[in-house]
């Protein structure tokens, strides 16, 4: 776990969330990763109709994007999930937990949307990260 980030699961007077921190702050270089969908390197959909397969591809894409900025999942301060059906959230959380671990979780927002830019896509996830300056702790 990186030490340049502080995560507060539940500030005083706020009910704890399930699987996310209410507040995350830190120091370092800010990295914004555009929403990632279940597309492979050729732009083909991975796991059509399968939210678990799509979620795994999304987190694989997020990992690649973070790495391009010198970041890792430990540096993520916020994830935003866009799903076409909230019933997909358990599959998304399972893929997230596989990629990031379960503690301490980043801040998160989940939103159900009518559709994404391609009808066969079920979810999209964007990330914000803070990468420590200098050597990693």
pTM of the model: 0.92
The answer for residues whose C-beta is within 8 angstroms of residue 81's C-beta and 6 or more apart is 89, 92, 108, 109, 110, 111, 123, 124, 125
Q: Is residue 94 part of a domain?
A: yes
Distance CA 9, CA 19 (A): 9
Q: Is residue 135 part of a domain?
A: no
| Domain extent at residue 102 | 24-128
Model confidence over 83-103: pLDDT tens digits?
Answer: 999 999 999 999 999 999 988
Q: How confident is the model at residue 8 (pLDDT cuts 50, 70, 90)?
A: very high
Domains contained in the chain, number: 1
Residue 122's CATH number: 3.30.1330.40
Rg (CA), the chain: 15
Model confidence over 99-137: pLDDT tens digits?
Answer: 999 888 899 999 999 999 999 999 999 999 999 987 655
Q: Is residue 8 part of a domain?
A: no
Task: Kindly tell me if the per-residue pLDDT of 68 is higher than 70.
Answer: yes
Task: For residue 101, give the 3-state DSSP assignment.
Answer: coil
């Amino acid at each position: 776990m990186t030490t340049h980030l502080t995560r507060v699961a539940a500030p005083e007077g706020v009910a704890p969330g399930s699987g996310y921190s209410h507040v995350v702050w830190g120091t370092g270089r800010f990295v914004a990763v555009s929403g990632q969908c279940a597309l492979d390197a050729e732009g083909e959909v991975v796991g059509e109709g399968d939210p678990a397969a799509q979620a795994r591809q999304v987190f694989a894409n997020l990992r690649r994007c973070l790495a391009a900025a010198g970041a890792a999942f430990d540096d993520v301060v916020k994830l935003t999930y866009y799903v076409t059906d909230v019933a997909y959230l358990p599959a998304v959380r399972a893929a997230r937990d596989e990629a990031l671990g379960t503690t301490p979780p980043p801040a998160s927002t989940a939103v159900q949307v009518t559709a994404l830019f391609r009808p066969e896509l079920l979810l999209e996830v964007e990330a914000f990260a803070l990468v420590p300056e200098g050597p990693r702790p």
